[in-house]
Chain A
Amino acid sequence: GDSVTQMEGPVTLSEEAFLTINCTYTATGYPSLFWYVQYPGEGLQLLLKATKADDKGSNKGFEATYRKETTSFHLEKGSVQVSDSAVYFCALIPSGGYNKLIFGAGTRLAVHP
């Protein structure tokens, strides 16, 4: 079945470091891909999305490119801030189906001053 695999955390970085969180997926056809972020004690917020191959989603300095050939959607940011500390979830919606999000296990990011 459809699934999402994320790199295990926690990822610990110093402020202004470069961030990469790896995400790969298994799905038939062309799923839509998403990154959600969850701050402590809160629900999930949509960070960015991409709906077709080679699309680049971007928001708040984060970006991810839909790579069909490698079935990947890695999250990157050039310079992280302490306020970026959170859990990041990669997710997909299968193609041709209803709006059911399938999530990865999440990657915790801790940014230190």
Chain B
Amino acid sequence: DAGVTQSPTHLIKTRGQQVTLRCSPISGHKSVSWYQQVLGQGPQFIFQYYEKEERGRGNFPDRFSARQFPNYSSELNVNALLLGDSALYLCASSPTGNQPQHFGDGTRLSIL
């Protein structure tokens, strides 16, 4: 069975641009979470969605937004990119909102 898939794998943007990252959960998983991992640090929670509704939001500015589609895939959008947004963005899925999460390999975003 396919794991969590994320696209693209790498992305280079410039300051002020906007970016959309995509995530397909494991088949049957209805919950998707997003994390930001800055180099050398642990992942930081950004959002959780379950059954297409936002269930939680981390301490990130309003430039970060997300949504979940009827097929449970998800998009993370970041507007007005800053140099500090350079990071590995990880998507994780779980069957419900309360079971261990399975992670994708991430999207590495570089801001120039």
Contact residues of A with B, CB < 8 Å? 4, 34, 36, 41-46, 49, 89, 91, 97-106
Q: Which residue of B lies closest to A105 (CB)?
A: B42
Minimum CB–CB distance for A88 against chain B, Å: 11
> 9 interchain pairs (CB within 8 A)?
A42-B105, A89-B43, A91-B42, A97-B56, A99-B33, A99-B48, A99-B56, A103-B42, A106-B41
Nearest 3 Cβ contacts at the A-B interface: A103-B42, A43-B103, A44-B103
Contacts A43-B90, A103-B43, A106-B42 known; A98 to B102 CB distance under 8 Å?
no
Using C-beta atoms within 8 Å of the partner chain, give the interface range for chain B: 20 to 34
Residues of A within 8 A of B99 (CB): 99
**Whole-angstrom CA separation of A97 from B48 in the bound complex:** 12
Number of CB contacts from chain A to chain B under 8 A: 62
* Contact indicator A46/B41 (Cβ below 8 Å): no
Residues of B within 8 A of A97 (CB): 56
Minimum CB–CB distance for B6 against chain A, Å: 8
Contacts A42-B105, A43-B90, A43-B103 known; A89 to B56 CB distance under 8 Å?
no
**Whole-angstrom CA separation of A91 from B92 in the bound complex:** 14
Residues of B within 8 A of A89 (CB): 42-43
* Contact indicator B45/A45 (Cβ below 8 Å): no
* Contact indicator A101/B101 (Cβ below 8 Å): yes
* Contact indicator B45/A100 (Cβ below 8 Å): yes
**Whole-angstrom CA separation of A99 from B29 in the bound complex:** 13
> Which of A41, A49, A101, A104 touches B45 (beta carbons < 8 Å)?
A101
Q: Which residue of B lies closest to A36 (CB)?
A: B103
